[in-house]
Structure 1
Amino acid sequence: MDLKQLRYFVAVAEELHFGRAAARLFISQPALSFDIKKLEEQLGIQLLQRNNKSVKLTPAGRVLLDEARSLLLQAEQARRLTLRSAQGALGRLRVGFVSSMLYQGLPAAVARYEALYPGMEVVLREINSAEQAQALQRGQIDIGFVHRGTTLAGVASLLLLTDPFVCCLPPGHPLLAETTIDLAQLRDEPFILFPRSASPHYHDLIIARCVAAGFSPQIRHEARLWQTIITMVMHGMGVALLPQSLSGAWRGELHCVAIAQVGPPSELHAIIAEDNPPEAARHFLAVLRDDLALAGHGHADLLIKP
């Protein structure tokens, strides 16, 4: 099994059509079919169920698809790192992040870090909070940015900032003129929220805020990204709770109102190896903390250890 075979298999698995996969790969369909059959023979398992009308992945094929994508990504990163090394680059910093970090200083920190350390390349991986600490333990990332701290062995957490929740309302909503609202006023409103599998921490935090106000929210729609949730609110499809700092990215377009009840805020933590973290990770953290402090978002250090 080689990288070419994996690329061919991924193309077929994603297209579920040999003709389209062959066109995507710029090879002939018979050659593609031959290579896929050869791969199945080498592995001794069937990866695809095909007939004259359809192509489907077998259970083994679905497993290989995930692994093949990961291997191809690693191979491309190794190629680029080797090339950069030959050109005089120093190395690579692998950063895990949750999507809200795109609105909380991450892009600017990457640009400033690469300007300060021109031989370094920052590689970003969007991973949810629950999986980032495990990725750090396994050596798949060098530093992570998550919504809550962790007590996993060997991983230290640093609280970077806290962010109050606000209520995001659709255009024309009767509560838009209010300076603050009681969450109980939203008991009959359709809510837009993450599926719990996508962000258990945020999902549970928002549900808990509503329950504390005396009601269980009516979750009408689910979306996996903040951008999607906000866009759905702006189209009048429901209300949502979101961290205040995110609302600034849509200033002038998005209508947000403060919440009267005091409750747990959104938090942003950095996670890093507790013992001997990579120097590059420490430098990147310092850059981000400086940027947050300049923006008025800095927080006192809170190191959470196992």
Structure 2
Amino acid sequence: MELRHLKYFLAVAEELNFTKASEKLFISQPPLSRQIIELEEELQAKLFIRNNKKVELTEAGKYFEKEVKTLFQNLERISLKTKKIAENVSGEFRIAYISSIYSAVISDLIKHLKIQFPYVNFKLFEVSTTKQIDALEQGKIEMGIIRSPIKSPKIKSHLWFQDGFSIVFNKNNIQLKSEKEILNLKEETFVFFNKDYAPHYHEVLLELCAFYGFTPKIIHEANNINSIVQLVKNGLGISIVPSNIAKNNQDPEIGFIELKKVNLRTDVSIITSKEDESEITKAAVNFLLNKSGLR
């Protein structure tokens, strides 16, 4: 069995059409059909059901497709890591972060790493937690900063700090002086993170509102914490955001009230690959863990 057999198989599995698959692979259809037959004979398993109208994967074919995709992902990861080892401490180092934790600490991290590794091109990406986990598993980033929980056997997690929550509101529209007045907000409209973008975080916000005795009227949703704060500033509602946002926001129109009564916090974690033992990764993680930063 050769890699080309697997590539040809994936092309047919994705297209479910031999003509389209052959066009995609820039080969004629007869050689493609022969390669698939050779593969099936070697595996002693029928991978496709073929008739005049359509091509379908058999149950064995569906299983094989899933495993072959994983195999190619691992090959890509191995290739990237091999290249990185060969480059030693040159090349790229990609760091992803969620919008709700960006601060001067991350800028300080890049400056610190550039001094230690001057030949490395450091890149920052604002990416959701779910996409960061996928990217790290596939070797597309070297480090991520997320809000836990995380469930992946391929990833190592380091707790950076725990964050509380605060109500954020426009001072010109709403008069709010203390946490005791939170229930007065039950008739207000809310701006929340999109449920599909950050499902765990969305659920936490609903739990917070339930604790204070009301269900929020969610009118607007956004995928970026800065967009949420801007919508609040524009008078389109109020929101609940991580408390560290208040430390980085000096806008006189925006007010924050920390929710201290409820014992609910989120873990902000640094994630790396379990297989990554590079000096750059160790230096980056140690810098953040030793920095008080947002804590």
The residue that corresponds to 1:18 in the other structure is: none
Aligned length, in residue pairs: 218
Q: Which runs of 4+ in 1 moved over 6 A?
A: none
**Greater alpha carbon shift after TM alignment, 209-218 vs 96-105:** 96-105
Do the aligned residues in 2 keep the contact of 1:192 with 1:223 (CA within 8 Å)? yes
1:75-97 Cα shifts (integer Å, max 9, x gaps)? xxx9xx99xx7xx9723212122
C-alpha distance in structure 1 between counterparts of 2:181 and 2:140, whole Å = 43
Aligned-residue CA RMSD (Å): 2.9
**Match in the other structure for 2:263:** 263
Confirm or deny: 8 A CA contact 1:96 1:145 kept in the other structure: yes
8 A Cα contact 1:95 1:123, kept in partner: yes
Aligned to 2:195: 196
Deviations 1:147-200 (A, max 9, x none): 113231121211101121111111224433x13345333211100011111212
- 1:120-164 per-residue CA deviation (whole Å, 9 max, x = no partner) reads 221223221122222222212111111113231121211101121
Q: What is the alpha-carbon distance in structure 1 between the residues aligned to residue 140 and residue 123 of structure 2?
A: 11
Which residue type is aligned with residue 102 of structure 2? L
Deviations 1:1-22 (A, max 9, x none): xxxxxxxxxxxxxxxxxxxxxx
Secondary structure of 1:209's aligned partner: helix
Say which SS state the counterpart of residue 250 (structure 1) adopts.
Answer: coil
Q: Distance in 2 between matches of 1:173 and 1:236?
A: 7
| Residues in 1 aligned to 2:174 and 2:109: alpha-carbon distance in whole angstroms | 39
Per the alignment, residue 165 of structure 2 pairs with: 165
* Superposed counterparts of 1:9-28, under 5 Å: none
2:159 is paired with a residue whose SS is strand
**CA spacing shift, 1:134–1:277, aligned 2, 3 Å:** farther
User: Structure 2 CA distance, aligned partners of 1:251 and 1:179?
Assistant: 19
User: Take 1:296 and 1:125, find their aligned partners in 2: how far apart are those partners?
Assistant: 19
In structure 2, the residue matched to 1:14 is none
Alignment of structure 1 residues 1-306 onto 2, 5 Å: 43=24, 90-103=90-103, 105-176=105-176, 178-253=177-252, 254-291=254-291, 293=292, 295=293, 297=295
Rg larger in structure: 2
1:8 paired residue number? none
Mapped to 2, the partners of 1:148 and 1:289 lie a distance apart of 16
C-alpha separation in 2, matches of 1:129 and 1:182: 32
- 1:192 and 1:239 in contact (8 A); partners too: yes
Report the AA paired with residue 190 of structure 1: T
Letter in 1 for 2:131: E
> SS in structure 2 opposite 1:229?
helix
What amino acid sits opposite 1:264 in the alignment? Answer: L
CA distance, structure 1, for counterparts of residue 229 and residue 181 of structure 2: 21
| Residue 224 of structure 1, CA deviation | 1.5
Consecutive unaligned residues of structure 2, counting only runs of 5 or more, are 1-21, 26-79
C-alpha distance 282-89 of structure 1, shift in aligned 2 (>3 A): closer
Counterpart AA for 1:98: I
Give 1:225 shift.
Answer: 1.1
SS in 1 for 2:244: helix
Query: How many Å separate the matches in 1 of 2:146 and 2:101?
Result: 9
Aligned to 2:50: none
- Kept in 1: contact 2:105–2:294 (CA 8 A): no
- TM-score normalized by structure 2? 0.66
| Contact 1:149 1:159 (8 Å CA) reproduced | no
Normalising by structure 1, we get a TM-score of 0.63
| Structure 2 residue identity aligned to 1:103 | S
In 2, the alpha carbon distance for the partners of 1:278 and 1:163 equals 29
